[in-house]
Structure 1
Amino acid sequence: MTYPTINRLLAFACIGFTIFSCNQKESSEILISEIDQVSYNFHIRPILSDKCFACHGPDANKRESELRLDTEAGAYAALKDDPSQFVIKPGNLEESTVYHRITSEDPGELMPPPESNLALSETEIQLIKKWIEQGAKYEPHWAFVAPEKSPLPEETDWTTNEIDRFALKKMTEKGLQPNPEAKPHELIKRASLDLTGLPPSPEVLDRFGDFSGDLTYEDLLDGLLSDPGFGEKMAIIWMDISRYSDSYGYQDDNIRTQWPYRDWVIHAFNENMSYDQFITWQLAGDLLPNANKEQILATAFNRNHKYTEEGGVIDEEYRIEYVLDKTNTVSKGLLGITMECAQCHDHKYDPFSQKEYYEMFAFFNNTPEKGYQGDVSQSKPAKTPILWVDQEDLSGVMSFINYADTSKLSVSVMGELDEQRPTYILDRGVYDAPTVEVEPSTPSSIMKFPDDLEENRLGLAKWMTARENPLTARVFVNLMWQEIFGQGIVKSAGDFGMQGDLPTHPELLDWLAVDFIENGWDIKRLMKQILTSSTYKQSAIIKDKHLKTDPENLYLARAPRLRLPAENIQDLVLASSGLLVRKLGGPSVKPYMPEGIWEAATSGRGVLATYVQDKGDKLYRRGLYNFIKLTVPPPKAIIFDSSNRDRCEIGRSRTNTPLQALVMMNDPMILEASRVLAGKMWEENREEEKAIATSFKRIVCRDLTSKEKSILLSYYEDQLERFKENPDQIVSSLSVGEYPLEEKNINPETAALMQVIVSIYNLEETITKS
């Protein structure tokens, strides 16, 4: 590209940015004029949180001039050096010092100060002005107030259930209209991928057709929800939250056996265990009255963090590190708050003190877990406390664990010390700098910890699942919404605090959270409720109005177009080719791996020093079961944005990179699936047109159009001619992968059809839910 070309592109970019900025400004000014009542929560707090709270917020250690803007008392206070002046005088701009400071032209008076590199926009200044004029009313943070059901908006011919009534109201406010309903084959594929992570077979597509026969869309959903694949699909989400892996991390990164916990998670979702029970068992199953082994196994949730096996480490340092990880995982994954920010000091933005952080920490500080358990030569697949699972358990209470071996299984789980270990606030979070002793408790800004609850993990679980808790149900409902629509009603799914995103549909989020609790924390009911809505069933067609008014689809006037999660891309390829082994649960498997990657990131010690690929059926398991080594996460999955599992993750990014295309065109699994399907299709049809049409339907989940058929047939003929002219290339093309290659499939037709199928797998539509 020449320099003049680059300069022209930069010029266009600058012009475009200027136009965009002007449009944004104009749009914002119109918005302010249309606001009847400025809300502290939805208009003012985000501004103060971004621009002011670092110096005038909850963190006493960073607070300037002893001035607080995060509380009503602080904001309404008289100035320390001039009691006749006030920070904010409700309804009176002239006597509100804040307004004069944010509009000052004197750099020495202006707030935020220029050296902070922060500045208020004209729009933000006008919002604060209008708020003060209207009385500067403070409100508790919306996420820390227990949700309540607001009145349902008007019902229309379009609305199917309550979700639609809230969604349509917001669309109408934004000048949008809902898309028409998606085509039946699109809904069948979309629902199947959302609920099981697997594509519908051609037989399922034909059986349900256009839903005009005996089988309805609701019948489809009921069948998918009862499919064992539902638990596997949901488990992918929970493995990210629980930071599940098959190794310990750090330098030696040896093997561990936490996979029975994964089997339990799959089982719990398939059995539709209520969410309150689901998290209670994981937090404190060992503390339940007469706890059985299944309940204790669930507490492995807390033990999935990294462990060091390096010699010379300080036991207490790493023991504290493990407790910190447990605390941070529960606060982020289950409560959607960034408590970890208060490990070293009071939270800068949210009303969590360092004292409250260590009060939460205290719930997890009473386990007999050690920071260091012997040298690496004595590495064991589980760390104390350990749950042992034997054959009697496998035929009884834990029959859901898939284990053919006769040896005992060991899993790291939780236990409780007989005598309470004291917990101290740690100065700057340093393990050997204890200061003031604290007792187990929870942040009062969320919900006070009741006096009648046990001061242990079981009490914490009861607090978390109480009807009055403002976060637990909201966070989970939002997580499910994110899984279906690509982003949550609160976009920052792991941060419901003041720095997090505001909900796009606050009334809908609260209504769903309350409804979820009122209906027994029923997960399958919630999923069906979302998938039966007209909001969900819309077409994904993008119109000019959508791009202009709502490019991010925040207001849901169309279905989202989302690339599948990494694991489900593997599942789709294996399932459509007929290679997928639908064995539920069991130990993790080691599929194809690029040579040398594993060994380049190992200390050379332990059973994981060298990569030993699995054989046979183990190569064709679902992506959920791929072995996760923390120092070398599966490279293909990482390229498609999977979590590396070294910490709790409550959402994945979605990127588009050339490496993804490289994987889809060259990965041994995809090439192997293509040649196996090609052999099967040629053997069954012996006619290229039908073989291509059937393959396309298996992979893309719809019938070919005439134009697509013409293109693919033309490509097939080109490839057929190539292989006929170069017969020496046939075997090399068909020999990829370890699935047996039959002599009858070594021919130009199968080789050519394989290339066509590879191209079908590389279609954007193939790995996109739309």
Structure 2
Amino acid sequence: MKAAFPIKYVLLAGAGILAAGLGWNSLAGGGFGTRKAISYNYQIRPILSDKCFACHGPDANKREAGLRLDLAKSAYAPLEGKERFAIVPGNPAASEVYRRITSADPGYQMPTPESHLGLLNENEVGLIKKWISQGAKYEQHWAFTVPKKEALPDVGNEDWCKNEIDRFTLEKMDEVGLAPNEEATKAQLLKRLALDLTGLAPSLDMQQQFAGDHSGNAYEKIVDKLLSQKAYGEKMAIHWLDVARFADSYGYQNDDARTQWAWRDWVIHAFNTNMPYDRFLTWQLAGDLLPNAGKEQILATAFLRNHKITEEDGVIPEEYRVEYHLDKTKTFSSGLLGLTVECAQCHDHKYDPISQEDYYRLFAFFNTSKEKGFDGSAGSGPAKTPVLTISGSETEQLLNFINRKDTARIVVSVMGEGDEPRITHVLNRGVYDAPGKVVTASALPAVMPFDTAWYARNRLGLAQWTTSKQNPLTARVFVNQVWQEIFGRGLVKSTGDFGMQGDLPTHPALLDWLAVDFMDHGWNIKRLVKQMVMSATYRQSSRSTKEKTEKDPENIYLSRGARYRVPAESIRDIVLSTSGLLNTEIGGPSVKPYQPKGIWEATTANRGSLARYVQDTAGALYRRGLYTFIKLTLPPPAMIIFDASNRDHCEVKRQKTNTPLQALVMLNDPTVLEASRVLAERLSASRTPVERQISEVFQRIVCRQPDAGEMQLLTGYYQEELAAFTKNRHKAGIALDVGDSRHLPKIDPARAAALMRVISTIYNMEETITKS
């Protein structure tokens, strides 16, 4: 949980204000002094949360002077033993809060110097004064209110708008004096779409077909084509695997292999068949509790069993059993509700209205499973109790989306309720062996009441509560995650924190409109994705200007297209697909591609089936990135360097970093070098002039035609390398000696090696692995 609200970049979205760099603009056309109504949610609560709630917030254990400033009743009440009031609506001068934030006396002022929270700045003080003067009206936290569809904004440039999304984004641009960019070129749009919807670069054939399609609906046709490809499900699954902390090993010191990959096959299948999101969640939370539950519904519950599991002798089973359910609680709350509920494991949440008792009531839904804290030491099996066993005949019939590789039965760790009810206690200080008050299962009251007349006190009841249209968080959180995957940044930047310490939505009306529209159209995920990519907002060029960079450096107002590096898995997929090496097989067990020698063994306990790294061969070497074997104690090094999730906990947002190691990977990774060699050998075997070969390679990899300067540079480099390799043909052989794929016979090694160097250079262009 964050220690303090990032006030430097407070986005007062309801007023169209970015507090850093953009000035104090608002719908009223001025600063806080001219605004007609100050918003508690968007202007006051962030200040109080940053400066006051640590001592005067929801956490009773840290509360000073019995004062809660997050509740109107407490804030308006007399202070302890004094005839003074923290807030007197309409009268700042009589309000102790205002007196103290304006005082210069270190012994009287708030926040106190000892808190190290820092004093309020002039704008913050002015906003609080104005708010108190206007009556100090409190509002329910925005994320805990049921979303509503507001009327679509009226905008001046209606011709620019392609769908409803654009009206909301254009309204914000107008407020801050920005104008949308021109539409990106067809080549740029196709690459962007292909990467967003399939994670793959578009093939040459697809590029040529789209370039030659001049019909009025050419763009929509290519969107529909990409959405219908099986690769779509693979791309969408990547984010969900992060949320579900999917991995191929148990994760503690012994870290043996496990077989959860059949659940990954189900996730891909669910996205490709466009399973509604409410059903998608229900099956994963409680598929085993559905009436007449089949094996597919039970398999879906592996979502909750992807956490780390110990196989170490001598552990205390109850300690780890509790730890597993704490992990489930965090995954549910962060991944599905966008809340930092884990903060309440040891004490009441310091900032959000979630008590420790609320936390353990939520924990109780998972505390009833058959799961054991210790279910055998290393090598005791690829799945832990309770398990689902899938036979060969079942994969051929009912579960034919599972890519079965051999005749062995598939075993998966899944959920199952215990035979006897288990009592749940509040755990004092969050410690497994310090039971306190007994509690019964219930969802978070701050979010939405858990009415037992409607919902059973089990995981199925929790799933129904979660997917209720009255739940204010579920649809908002998922829409925001999808927006993040498409635009690079969520409408709520803090994707996993919609609480009081999280970032405010940049476009609150748009987020709510999309959430309601999503639910009203049957929680249709493909429709939601299409809605986003069909917008004029999405189709803009990513070109920036000095004015836009200065006014909106993070592109919060979406006046240009997104530009960022693609995910780690897509980097691998781009290299494999453009070289012709990609194995397009869907699903199946994870694979072990090239990896630096010795690194695996240096992090293992030398026990179990994963004591040694055994690299795969043949087609398994060229599977897509999401199929790469993830050992929790040593995630795939090349992917981690490019900010892939290490999958040891629920992760809803990946970092975006730039380090020299990333350049070293692209220059030296055997996969990149082999792809360059394979493509070079294939082209060298033809009689096509080298200029055409380089142009084709550039088009294939970068997805556009090279300009004259680029062609001159690359052709010149080819000639230099050709001269060097012709002079020393032994070095040409060394350069080509990379990768397990076969070499083409009867090619000129010097020409192939020179072209390989050129192709490797193109793979190393920033543009190759950037969505722009």
User: TM bucket by the smaller chain?
Assistant: over 0.9
Number of aligned positions between the proteins: 748
Other-structure match for 2:431: 430
Give secondary structure in 2 for the equivalent of 1:425. Answer: strand
Instruction: Write the distance in 2 (CA, Å) between the matches of 1:23 and 1:617.
Output: 52
> Which residue identity lines up with residue 418 of structure 1 in the other structure?
D
The 8 Å contact of residues 184 and 211 in structure 1, kept in 2 or not, is answered as no
Other-structure match for 1:91: 90
| Deviation by residue 1:379-400 (Cα, 9 ceiling, x = unmatched) | 2100000000001110121100
| Deviation by residue 1:245-291 (Cα, 9 ceiling, x = unmatched) | 00001101000000000000000000000000000000000000000
Give secondary structure in 1 for the equivalent of 2:94. Answer: coil
Other-structure match for 2:109: 110
> Which residue identity lines up with residue 44 of structure 1 in the other structure?
I
Task: Note closer, same or farther for the CA distance 1:25–1:627 as it changes in structure 2 (3 Å cut).
Answer: closer
> Which residue identity lines up with residue 376 of structure 2 in the other structure?
G
- Give unmatched runs, 5+ long, in structure 2: 1-17
Instruction: Write the distance in 2 (CA, Å) between the matches of 1:116 and 1:215.
Output: 60
The 8 Å contact of residues 76 and 87 in structure 2, kept in 1 or not, is answered as yes
The 8 Å contact of residues 385 and 412 in structure 1, kept in 2 or not, is answered as yes
Confirm whether residue 310 of structure 1 aligns to residue 312 of structure 2: yes
Counting only pairs closer than 5 Å after superposition, residues 536-615 of structure 1 correspond to structure 2 as: 536-615=538-617
Q: What is the CA distance between 1:26 and its match in structure 2?
A: 6.0
> Which residue identity lines up with residue 97 of structure 2 in the other structure?
V
Confirm whether residue 78 of structure 1 aligns to residue 78 of structure 2: yes
Give secondary structure in 2 for the equivalent of 1:684. Answer: coil
Q: What is the CA distance between 1:27 and its match in structure 2?
A: 4.8
- Give unmatched runs, 5+ long, in structure 1: 1-20
The 8 Å contact of residues 184 and 210 in structure 1, kept in 2 or not, is answered as no
| Deviation by residue 1:470-506 (Cα, 9 ceiling, x = unmatched) | 0000000000000011110000000000000000000
Confirm whether residue 439 of structure 1 aligns to residue 440 of structure 2: yes
The 8 Å contact of residues 640 and 646 in structure 2, kept in 1 or not, is answered as yes
Query: Which segment is superposed worse, 680-689 or 122-131?
Result: 680-689
Give secondary structure in 2 for the equivalent of 1:535. Answer: helix
| Deviation by residue 1:34-76 (Cα, 9 ceiling, x = unmatched) | 5321111000101111111010000001101101101001110
Give secondary structure in 1 for the equivalent of 2:412. Answer: strand
Counting only pairs closer than 5 Å after superposition, residues 239-388 of structure 1 correspond to structure 2 as: 239-376=241-378, 378-388=379-389
The 8 Å contact of residues 33 and 126 in structure 2, kept in 1 or not, is answered as no
Task: Note closer, same or farther for the CA distance 1:455–1:34 as it changes in structure 2 (3 Å cut).
Answer: same
The 8 Å contact of residues 21 and 551 in structure 2, kept in 1 or not, is answered as no
Normalising by structure 1, what TM-score? 0.96
Instruction: Write the distance in 1 (CA, Å) between the matches of 2:423 and 2:240.
Output: 31
Give secondary structure in 2 for the equivalent of 1:437. Answer: strand
Q: Which runs of 4+ in 1 moved over 2 A?
A: 21-36
Counting only pairs closer than 5 Å after superposition, residues 448-597 of structure 1 correspond to structure 2 as: 448-452=449-453, 453-597=455-599
Q: What is the CA distance between 1:441 and its match in structure 2?
A: 0.4
> Which residue identity lines up with residue 105 of structure 1 in the other structure?
A
Other-structure match for 1:59: 59
Confirm whether residue 418 of structure 1 aligns to residue 419 of structure 2: yes
| Deviation by residue 1:605-648 (Cα, 9 ceiling, x = unmatched) | 11101100000000000000000000000000000000000000
Other-structure match for 1:6: none
Instruction: Write the distance in 2 (CA, Å) between the matches of 1:380 and 1:103.
Output: 65
Q: What is the CA distance between 1:25 and its match in structure 2?
A: 9.6
Other-structure match for 1:397: 398
Instruction: Write the distance in 2 (CA, Å) between the matches of 1:78 and 1:283.
Output: 46
Other-structure match for 1:689: 691
| Deviation by residue 1:204-223 (Cα, 9 ceiling, x = unmatched) | 11101164148611010111
Instruction: Write the distance in 2 (CA, Å) between the matches of 1:592 and 1:142.
Output: 48
Q: What is the CA distance between 1:94 and its match in structure 2?
A: 1.7
Give secondary structure in 1 for the equivalent of 2:237. Answer: helix
The 8 Å contact of residues 590 and 626 in structure 1, kept in 2 or not, is answered as yes
Q: Report % sequence identity.
A: 59
Other-structure match for 2:6: none
The 8 Å contact of residues 359 and 439 in structure 1, kept in 2 or not, is answered as yes
| Deviation by residue 1:352-399 (Cα, 9 ceiling, x = unmatched) | 0000000000000001100011233x4210000000000111012110
The 8 Å contact of residues 22 and 551 in structure 2, kept in 1 or not, is answered as no
Q: What is the CA distance between 1:717 and its match in structure 2?
A: 0.5
The 8 Å contact of residues 323 and 364 in structure 1, kept in 2 or not, is answered as yes
Task: Note closer, same or farther for the CA distance 1:389–1:247 as it changes in structure 2 (3 Å cut).
Answer: same
Counterpart of 2:682 (choices 662, 680, 683) is 680
> Which residue identity lines up with residue 210 of structure 2 in the other structure?
F
The 8 Å contact of residues 286 and 414 in structure 1, kept in 2 or not, is answered as yes
> Which residue identity lines up with residue 96 of structure 2 in the other structure?
T
Counting only pairs closer than 5 Å after superposition, residues 751-766 of structure 1 correspond to structure 2 as: 751-766=753-768
Give secondary structure in 2 for the equivalent of 1:192. Answer: helix
RMSD: 1.4
Give secondary structure in 1 for the equivalent of 2:716. Answer: helix
Query: Which segment is superposed worse, 506-515 or 686-695?
Result: 686-695
Other-structure match for 1:9: none
Task: Note closer, same or farther for the CA distance 1:58–1:399 as it changes in structure 2 (3 Å cut).
Answer: same
Normalising by structure 2, what TM-score? 0.96
> Which residue identity lines up with residue 543 of structure 1 in the other structure?
T
Instruction: Write the distance in 2 (CA, Å) between the matches of 1:142 and 1:587.
Output: 43
> Which residue identity lines up with residue 606 of structure 2 in the other structure?
G
Instruction: Write the distance in 2 (CA, Å) between the matches of 1:447 and 1:685.
Output: 69
The 8 Å contact of residues 208 and 215 in structure 1, kept in 2 or not, is answered as no
> Which residue identity lines up with residue 413 of structure 1 in the other structure?
V
Counterpart of 2:199 (choices 197, 200, 225) is 197
> Which residue identity lines up with residue 629 of structure 1 in the other structure?
K
Instruction: Write the distance in 1 (CA, Å) between the matches of 2:420 and 2:112.
Output: 52
> Which residue identity lines up with residue 724 of structure 1 in the other structure?
T
